[in-house]
Amino acid sequence: MEVLEAIRKRRTVRVPFTGEKVPEDIISMLMDVSNISPSGDPISWRLARVDDAVVKAGLARIVKEDFGDYFQKDGERFRRVFSEYPKWLRFSAEAQDGIRLGSFPKAARYFYSIALGRRFGPLFGKLGVMNAEIKSYCRNIMSNPVLFGVFLDRRVNSTAITPILNTGSMLQNLRLAATSLGLCYQDLGWITATKTASDKARKLLGMLENYVAVNFFRIGYTDGLERESKRSDFRRNLKDIVHVGQFGGNKYHAQPIKKTDIQLLDAIRGQGAKRDSQPVLEDDMSYILEAARWAPTGFNVQPFEFIVTERDGVAAIVVLENRERRDPDPGPCEALARGGVLQNIRLAARACGLIVEIKNLIAIDKENVREEFCIPKQYTIVTSIKVKGGSK
């Protein structure tokens, strides 16, 4: 499957998987993909496969308890989540972001938008309005052919952001590779959304204390995609998320998106011809930005925006994150999502025969970039990326 085709086709699948076994050679291929993903040295993540039905049931129990906390504790997390939910769970077909809940009768939509809101959420929560949701989530944890836990090794670097970004990039490689192999994939980030839940999951899997559980995911097959009622196939338009020259600068006029003949797995492996040091063309940039646009984010909040510019005579993209578009309950999810968008950019650049240089910006760099590109305070500067031809 061609790179951008896989990036656009990849979807989170939330319906139950069939019991069909995923062949072991496919799983080892996916493990190879994880091993050649961007990483520090030594590799800072570890994947732990979960086969045992008792352990799966234990993970489901963790989610139930975690959900239960919402209704029992009247803390900050509780208030935040219930004020944000209605914003990201959408019913209308026109919604450009959030997760769209299909197949809801009109009366139920009205009821849910009130029942999941900040004011009445606690009451309806206690009455069990989320029970069906929790049940289907737990069913997905328990019945699936392949389930993995994703752990960060704190010994590698307990404070730097790079290890978790790399983990996010690795996960995006796995999602895309699974898509290109005809498999379905779902992140199960709820299991690690809070420190308490993440600690319980780590203990349950028998991992030592230096490992932190940051995500879980499942892979399998399904024959019932038409039953999918929660979808997030909307993305903000490029013209709304790309700034030219500086923040709020000229409008971006997206080019028609080209097609390359580079296959996803080849791009992941870094195979494919590199171009000489020619300028990055407009259609290269559109291709790369289109790939960035389709990166998955928790609750499909799509916080990323991009400034297209030149730095030191080279085409560059400054990646921003709008803090006003926050996942209701982010946990490690936000940082993992950043790694995902960076990986889409890397792979798309490779498909165009280009290379990227992703800068690890320190605080002072960020302040300079903020000033240079007139970036408002509510935007976090994720990184600055140079895109160029040539092999260096």
Give which of 179, 151, 141, 116 is closest to 52, Cα–Cα.
141
How open is the CA angle 371-376-381, to the nearest 5 degrees?
75
Q: Which of 174, 177, 188, 268 touches ligand FMN by CB under 6 A?
A: 188
Q: Which of 14, 202, 243, 350 touches ligand FMN by CB under 6 A?
A: 14
Q: Examine residue 336 and tell whether it contacts ligand FMN (CB under 6 A).
A: yes
Q: Which of 2, 4, 7, 12 touches ligand FMN by CB under 6 A?
A: 12
Q: Examine residue 37 and tell whether it contacts ligand FMN (CB under 6 A).
A: no
User: Which DSSP category does 161 fall into?
Assistant: S
Task: Kindly write out the interface string for residues 51-80 of this chain, putting x where it contacts ligand FMN by CB under 6 A and - elsewhere.
Answer: ------------------------------
Q: Which of 86, 149, 340, 389 touches ligand FMN by CB under 6 A?
A: 340
Query: Cα 7 from chain centroid?
Result: 12
Q: Which stretch binds ligand FMN (CB under 6 A): 105-113, 147-155, 297-305, 346-354?
A: 297-305
Which secondary structure element, helix H or strand E, spans residue 131, and what is its range?
helix 131-142
Q: Examine residue 297 and tell whether it contacts ligand FMN (CB under 6 A).
A: yes
Q: Which of 189, 220, 328, 389 touches ligand FMN by CB under 6 A?
A: 189
Q: Examine residue 232 and tell whether it contacts ligand FMN (CB under 6 A).
A: yes
Q: Examine residue 328 and tell whether it contacts ligand FMN (CB under 6 A).
A: no
Is the Cβ–Cβ distance between 306 and 242 less than 8 Å? yes
Query: Cα 165 from chain centroid?
Result: 11
In order of 129, 244, 289, the CA distances from 283 in angstroms are: 48, 15, 10
Could you tell me how many residues of this chain bind ligand FMN (CB under 6 A)?
A: 20
Is the Cβ–Cβ distance between 268 and 33 less than 8 Å? yes
Q: Please report, as residue ranges, which positions from 192 to 221 form the binding site for ligand FMN (by CB under 6 A).
A: 215
Q: Examine residue 90 and tell whether it contacts ligand FMN (CB under 6 A).
A: no
Task: Please state whether beta strands 242-244 and 304-311 pair in parallel, antiparallel, or not at all (unpaired).
Answer: parallel
Q: Examine residue 298 and tell whether it contacts ligand FMN (CB under 6 A).
A: yes
Cis peptide before 42 (omega within 30 of 0): yes
> Beta strands of the chain (E only): which ranges?
45-50, 89-90, 99-101, 146-153, 184-187, 211-220, 230-231, 242-244, 250-251, 304-311, 314-322, 355-359, 379-388
Q: Examine residue 99 and tell whether it contacts ligand FMN (CB under 6 A).
A: yes
Name the minimum Å distance from CB 332 to ligand FMN.
7
- Which chain residues interact with ligand FMN by CB under 6 A? 11-12, 14, 99, 186-190, 215, 232, 296-300, 333, 336-337, 340
